[in-house]
Structure 1
Amino acid sequence: MRTALKRRNVLHAAWRHCNAVLSKPERVAFILKRLRELYPQPPIPLQHRDPFTLLIAVLLSAQCTDERVNQVTPALFRLASTPAAMAELDVEQIREIIRPCGLSPKKSRAIKQLSEILLAEHNGRVPADMDALERLPGVGHKTASVVLSQAFGVPAFAVDTHIHRLAQRWGLTSGRNVVQTERDLKRLFPRESWNSLHLQIIYYGREFCSARSCDGRHCDICRTCYPERKNPKQTRKA
C-alpha cells in the first residue's frame, strides 16, 4: 500500500515537473540545445561574395525579404561588386535595379554614398569596426552587427523584429525595444554562441514560430518553455 502510494507521488511529481514553467536558465539551456540540433551550421541567407556585397545585401534587406534581395543582387553585382565600381554608377542606375526591394530612393543614395566613403576613408574596404560601420549611410546597428558577425566572425547579436518577438514568447526579455532585447540576449547566452544563434533563431522563427503560425502556444520551444500557457502571448512591437 505504501509502495503504491509512493509510486503515485513520484509519478505525480514527475508530471508536475514536466508540465511546470521552466526557469529562465532552463529555458536558455533548452533553447540553445534545440536550436543546435535543428540548425547545427546555419547558412547565411543572403547571397554574397565578400564583406562589401554582404553589406549591400543586408542594407537592401531592410523591410524586404531575403528571397527578394537574392533575386535583385545578382544583377547589381554583375554591374558593380566593389566600392570603386559602385561609386562610378549613377544613383538612378542603382535605383532602377534595386527598385523591387522597396525604399529604393533612400537605399540607392546610401549605396552610392557609402561606396564613396569606403574609397575615401577605408582604402576601399569594409571596416571590421562597429563605430565605423554605423557611420556609413544606411547602416544602422543591426546591419553593422550582421556584417561584423557574418563577414568577420566578430561576436555580435543582431536583433530584428522577428528575434525580438520570439525572445518575448520564450520569456527571455521584457521586450520594450530591440536594444533591450539585444542586451538581454547577450547576457543570457554564451558569447561564442551569438553569431550562430542569431541565424538559428531566424530560421526557427520562419519554420516553426512565425507571427502567424504560432502565438506562443504551438511550436516545440514555446510549448516546452510554457506548457501551461493558455492564452496567446501578447508581444510588444519593436
Structure 2
Amino acid sequence: MNAAKRIEIFTRFRAANPKPETELEYTTPFELLIAVLLSAQATDVGVNKATRKLYPVANTPEKILALGLDELKTHIQTIGLYPTKAKNVIATCQILVEQHGGQVPHDRAALEALPGVGRKTANVVLNTAFGDPTIAVDTHIFRVSNRTKIAPGKNVDVVEQKLLKFVPKEFLHDAHHWLILHGRYTCVARKPLCWNCMIADLCEYKDKTPAPAGA
C-alpha cells in the first residue's frame, strides 16, 4: 500500500470520528490501567459492567489493597480468568504504592514491570491516559492491518513497528482507536462488512464481501 492511500484512509477515519476514545470506562489513569488489565480475553462491555460496581467502592491502589484479594474477586468474578487477574491487580497496586507513590508511572519500562501488564497494555495506557503516540496491537488491529495491507506483518510486534513507521504523524495518536473500532464493527473477523466500509475502495483485501440481499 502506498503512502497516498494511507493518508486518505486515516483522513476518512478522522472525518467520521474526529476524537475517538476507548470504550473502556475510566476517569483516572489508574482506573484505565486496571480496566485494561482486566480486559485481556474479555470484552470492554463485560469489563465496564464489573468496574461500574468496583470503582465506586475502590478506585485507587490503596483502596483496592484495603479491599483485599477475596473481596476483589467478588467484584470481578463475571470477567474471564478473574482469579489470576485479581492477583495481578493486587500485586500491581502494591508496587504502585511502594514504588510510585500510588500513581501510574508515565514510563514504559515501569508499566511493563507491573504484574499482568505487557507491551500492549502499556501502549494503551501511554496513549490513552498520557497522550503518547503509541499503538497497542490487539487482535482487531492485527487483522485490519494485515487484511487491508495498511501494515502487514506476521506478528503483533512487526505490525506495531510498521504502523509506527507508515501512519502519518498527524494521525498517529488516534490511529490506535480508529483501527480497533474499524475492526470491531466493520472489518470483523469472520466476514468483513466490505459493502458498508468507508475505506473499501482503498483497502487491498482481495475477497471483498458483497452486500447481503435486501441491504
Structure 1 length-normalised TM? 0.82
Letter in structure 1 aligned against 2:11:
K
Stretch of structure 1 that moved more, 180-189 or 29-38: 29-38
Distance (whole Å) between structure 1 residues aligned to residue 157 and residue 50 of structure 2: 30
Match for residue 56 of structure 1? Answer: 34
Q: Which runs of 5+ in 2 are unaligned?
A: 210-215
Distance (whole Å) between structure 2 residues aligned to residue 66 and residue 231 of structure 1: 28
- State which of 72, 84, 89 in structure 1 corresponds to 2:50: 72
- State which of 33, 40, 49 in structure 1 corresponds to 2:11: 33
| Bigger radius of gyration | 1
Q: Give how far 1:231 is off.
A: 6.9
> Is 1:181 matched with 2:159?
yes
Q: Give how far 1:150 is off.
A: 0.8
Distance (whole Å) between structure 2 residues aligned to residue 105 and residue 33 of structure 1: 42
Root-mean-square deviation (CA, aligned residues, Å) is 1.9
Distance (whole Å) between structure 2 residues aligned to residue 74 and residue 217 of structure 1: 36
The alpha-carbon distance between structure 1 residues 54 and 206, as it changes in their structure 2 partners (threshold 3 A), is: same
The alpha-carbon distance between structure 1 residues 36 and 81, as it changes in their structure 2 partners (threshold 3 A), is: same
Structure richer in helix, relative to its length? 1
Distance (whole Å) between structure 2 residues aligned to residue 205 and residue 231 of structure 1: 15
Distance (whole Å) between structure 2 residues aligned to residue 201 and residue 231 of structure 1: 18
> Is 1:208 matched with 2:186?
yes
Q: Give how far 1:91 is off.
A: 1.2
Cα deviation 1:93-125 (Å, max 9, x = unaligned): 111211111111110001001001000000110
Q: How many residues align structurally?
A: 209
Letter in structure 2 aligned against 1:58:
V
Letter in structure 2 aligned against 1:163:
I
4+ residue runs over 4 A deviation:
215-218
Match for residue 212 of structure 2? Answer: none
Describe the SS at the equivalent of 2:104: coil
- State which of 43, 62, 81 in structure 2 corresponds to 1:103: 81
- 8 Å contact from structure 1 (residues 24, 171) kept in 2: no
Match for residue 44 of structure 1? Answer: 22
Letter in structure 1 aligned against 2:68:
D
Letter in structure 2 aligned against 1:94:
L
Cα deviation 1:171-203 (Å, max 9, x = unaligned): 123321110000000000133422211111112
- 8 Å contact from structure 2 (residues 42, 79) kept in 1: yes
Q: Give how far 1:66 is off.
A: 0.6
Distance (whole Å) between structure 1 residues aligned to residue 17 and residue 155 of structure 2: 26
Describe the SS at the equivalent of 1:100: coil
Q: Give how far 1:164 is off.
A: 0.4
> Is 1:141 matched with 2:140?
no
Cα deviation 1:32-84 (Å, max 9, x = unaligned): 11111111111221111100011001111111111111111011112211111
Letter in structure 1 aligned against 2:204:
Y
Q: Give how far 1:204 is off.
A: 1.8
- 8 Å contact from structure 2 (residues 147, 204) kept in 1: no
Letter in structure 1 aligned against 2:14:
R
Match for residue 226 of structure 1? Answer: 204
Match for residue 20 of structure 1? Answer: none
Match for residue 97 of structure 2? Answer: 119
Structure 2 length-normalised TM? 0.90
Stretch of structure 1 that moved more, 167-176 or 122-131: 167-176
Identity %, equivalent residues: 40
- 8 Å contact from structure 1 (residues 216, 223) kept in 2: no
> Is 1:84 matched with 2:54?
no
